[in-house]
Amino acid sequence: MSDPDVFVEPKVLTDFIRKIFAQTGSNESEANAIATSLVETSLMGHDSHGVSIVPRYVDRVLKGLIEPNQDITVVKNDGPALIIDGNRGYGQMIGRRAMTLAIEKAKSDRLVLMGIRNTHHLGRIGEWAEMCADAGLISMHFSNGINRPPVTAPFGGATARMGTAPYTAAFPRRNAPPILIDMASSVVAMNKVRIALNRGVQVPEGTIIDHAGNPTTDPSDLYTEPTGALLPVGGHKGYALGVAVEMFAGALTGGGVMIEGRASDGATINGLFSVIFDPELMIDRAYYDAEIEAYYEYLKSTPPAPGVDAVLVPGDPEQISLKKRMASGVPIDATSWAEMCQAARDAGLNDTEIPATKSD
């Protein structure tokens, strides 16, 4: 087993990460957007897409694989269709600007089909769905990743051919967080296996295969050449979902799908296809609000199975984690914290600028 997790107070952690990206060339607005997004993601329990990813971002920007301070380019704005090029900028900034534009368009036009292409890692896609929900809009999002090796095997396959192909949807509620579905079409996100490796623990059976296609629970099989692969969630159904996501995010945005032989420098470049609309385009808003609350309460009232404390609705786990971690601090595995501290030094910060931590 590895060393125990360290805990960092959210504001302290946000300030630390902001300094790192300001030091690597981001202006104040961009550095703040990256830091705020990554810390919020960790607060909501998505450690795979949260602060532990800072060292990968720093490595890429220092190698010139990310372009700081990029703005969006509107490639198409025709009827409901909106296509955005991210100019290989940070996804946390490109995603916010693109989604802001799409929300404004959806409020006037009531329906938007948006494609984002050529942007660095967009982070937790649920963040963009929550932006839509905060504006009272329903949204669905399909995301792919190219410019890097595949990590997920097709159903029945022995080697990787796909990304993790996330699917996300959010349904706004009056005076409450949205119902939020935010999931990879693989059993887990790739970085969750990396965190298991850092913590010295095995992954659950049915999560990954080794390089020969055999089941394994050793996370190092995904990080040692020749590498293994993630498995699709739900077998053939998750595989089919991943194919659909890849088509939406790659083929319809102009960003491209993940296939062998295309140029790759290892930095994840995301495509995102979003459907954003006002529920009143379909139905009276009062009816929608009543139905979503009735269904939420109906699901919550389900008697829990033995060993389960309570039945949760999608989106509940994030809110529970947020409340807990705001009080206790953001947990970071010891290996990821050491990597973050080294990334800060690589960026040009000195040791006095690295915050103190506490252990559990």
How much is the pLDDT for 178?
98
CATH architecture of the domain with residue range 6-193+235-287+314-351: 2-Layer Sandwich (3.30)
- From CA 263, how far away is CA 147, in angstroms rounded? 7
- From CA 63, how far away is CA 70, in angstroms rounded? 17
Fill in the amino acid letter for 305: A
How much is the pLDDT for 358?
84
Locus of tokens 């799908």: 257
Q: What are phi and psi of 159, to 5 degrees?
A: -135, 160
- From CA 244, how far away is CA 165, in angstroms rounded? 9
Distances (CA, A) of 102 to 92, 131, 135, 280: 15, 10, 11, 17
- Residues in a beta bridge with 275: 113, 140
Which parts of the chain have pLDDT scores under 70?
1-2, 360
Locus of tokens 């990256």: 34
Residues of the chain with CATH 3.30.1370.60: 6-193+235-287+314-351
Token pair of 47 as six digits: 């450690």
- What secondary structure, in 3-state letters, does the chain show? CCCCCEEECHHHHHHHHHHHHHHCCCCHHHHHHHHHHHHHHHHCCCHHHCHHHHHHHHHHHHCCCCCCCCCCEEEEEECCEEEEECCCCCHHHHHHHHHHHHHHHHHHHCEEEEEEEEEECCCCCHHHHHHHHHCCCEEEEEEEEECCCCCECCCCCCCCCECCCCEEEEEEECCEEEEEEEECCECCCHHHHHHHHHHCCCCCCCCEECCCCCEECCHHHHCCCCCCEECECCCHHHHHHHHHHHHHHHHCCCCCCCCCCCCCCCCCEEEEEEEEECHHHCCCHHHHHHHHHHHHHHHHCCCCCCCCCCCCCCCHHHHHHHHHHHHHCEEECHHHHHHHHHHHHHHCCCHHHCCCCEEC
Neighbouring C-beta atoms of residue 136, cutoff 10 Å: 16
Q: Cβ neighbours of residue 54 under 8 Å, at least 6 residues apart? A: 17, 20, 38, 339, 340, 343
How much is the pLDDT for 248?
98
What is the reported pTM? 0.96
Residues of the chain with CATH 3.30.60.50: 194-231
For strands 229-230 and 208-209, give the pairing. antiparallel
Distances (CA, A) of 133 to 31, 240, 285: 25, 27, 14
How much is the pLDDT for 1?
55
Considering the domain 194-231 in this protein, what is its CATH number? 3.30.60.50
Q: What is the dihedral of CA 257, 263, 266, 272, to 10 degrees?
A: -30
- From CA 280, how far away is CA 277, in angstroms rounded? 8
